[in-house]
Amino acid sequence: MSARSRIPGAVIRRLPRYYRYLSTLHQLGIVRVSSRDMSKALGLTSSQIRQDFSNLGGLGLQGYGYDVDSLLKEIGIILGLDTMYNLIIIGAGNLGHALSNYQNFEKRGFRIIGVFDVDQRIIGKKVNGLTVMHMDELSEFLKENKADIAAITVPRTYAREVAEKVISLGIRGIWNFAPVELEFPDDIVVENIHLSDSLMVLGYNLKQEKKENRA
Amino acid sequence: MSARSRIPGAVIRRLPRYYRYLSTLHQLGIVRVSSRDMSKALGLTSSQIRQDFSNLGGLGLQGYGYDVDSLLKEIGIILGLDTMYNLIIIGAGNLGHALSNYQNFEKRGFRIIGVFDVDQRIIGKKVNGLTVMHMDELSEFLKENKADIAAITVPRTYAREVAEKVISLGIRGIWNFAPVELEFPDDIVVENIHLSDSLMVLGYNLKQEKKENRA
DNA sequence: TAGATTGTTAATCGATTAACAATC
DNA sequence: TAGATTGTTAATCGATTAACAATC
Distance to chain A for B2, nearest Cα, Å: 11
Distance to chain A for B148, nearest Cα, Å: 9
How many alpha carbons lie under 13 Å from residue B21 in its C-beta half-sphere?
Answer: 21
Of residues A104 and A153, more confidently modeled: A153
Classify A17 as helix, strand or coil: helix
- 3-state SS of A156-183? HHHHHHHHHHHHHCCCCEEEECCCCCCC
Q: Tell me the pLDDT tens digit for each residue of A130-149.
A: 999 999 999 999 999 999 99
CB-based contact A171:A143 (threshold 8 Å): no
Answer yes or no: is pLDDT of A39 > 80.
yes
Distance from CA(B52) to C1'(C18), angstroms, rounded: 15
Q: What is the pLDDT of residue B213?
A: 76
A window 14-53: Cβ near strand C (< 7 A) = 34-36, 46-47, 50-51, 53
B181: nearest CB among A42, A202, A211: A42
> Which nucleotide lies nearest residue A60, CA to C1'?
C6
Classify A86 as helix, strand or coil: strand
B98: nearest CB among A41, A43, A97: A97
Q: What is the pLDDT of residue A138?
A: 98
A194: nearest CB among B16, B21, B81: B16
Query: CB neighbours of B154 closer than 8 A, spacing ≥ 6?
Result: B90, B91, B93, B162, B178
Q: What is the pLDDT of residue B215?
A: 65
Using a CB-CB cut-off of 8 Å, the residues of chain A touching B206 are: 80, 85, 148-149, 172-173, 189
Q: Tell me the pLDDT tens digit for each residue of A105-137.
A: 999 999 999 999 999 999 999 999 999 999 999
Q: What average pLDDT does the segment A161-189 reach?
A: 94
CB-based contact B52:B75 (threshold 8 Å): no
Integer Cα distance of B73 and A135 in angstroms: 38
Integer Cα distance of B128 and B112 in angstroms: 10
Backbone angles phi, psi at B111, to 5 degrees: -115, 130
Answer yes or no: is pLDDT of B39 > 90.
yes
Q: What is the pLDDT of residue A2?
A: 41
Using a CB-CB cut-off of 8 Å, the residues of chain A touching B93 are: 98
Q: CB B202 to CB A101 under 8 A? A: no
Q: How distant is the alpha carbon of residue A177 from its chain centre?
A: 12
B window 38-57: Cβ near strand C (< 7 A) = 44-45, 47-48, 50-51
Q: What average pLDDT does the segment B171-198 reach?
A: 94
Compute, in degrees rounded to 10, the torsion defined by CA atoms A161, A163, A169, A170.
-150
Q: Single out the residue of B97, B132, B104 nearest to residue B118, CA to CA.
A: B132
- Pick out residues whose CB falls under 7 Å from strand D: A 8-11, 44-45, 47-48, 50-51, 61-64; B 34-36, 46-47, 50-51, 53-54, 58-66
Backbone angles phi, psi at A173, to 5 degrees: -120, 125
According to DSSP, residue A82 is labeled T
Q: What is the mean pLDDT of chain B?
A: 94
Answer yes or no: is pLDDT of A183 > 90.
no
Instruction: Compute the count of residue pairs across chains A and B with CB atoms less than 8 Å apart.
Output: 186
Helix (H) or strand (E) holding A113: strand A110-117
Answer yes or no: is pLDDT of A184 > 90.
no
Distance to chain A for B136, nearest Cα, Å: 25
Instruction: Please state, in angstroms and as integers, the Cα–Cα distance from residue A184 to each residue in A93, A165, B85, B210, following that order.
Output: 25, 12, 35, 16
Q: Mutual orientation of helices A195-214 and B68-79 as an angle, nearest 10°?
A: 60
CB-based contact B42:B21 (threshold 8 Å): yes
Q: For chain B, which domains are there?
A: 3-79 (1.10.10.10), 89-197 (3.40.50.720)
Q: What is the pLDDT of residue B5?
A: 55
Integer Cα distance of B191 and B175 in angstroms: 5
Q: CB A110 to CB B203 under 8 A? A: yes
**Where does residue B87 rank: exposed (0-12), middle (13-18), buried (19+ CB within 10 A)?**
buried
Q: CB B181 to CB A41 under 8 A? A: yes
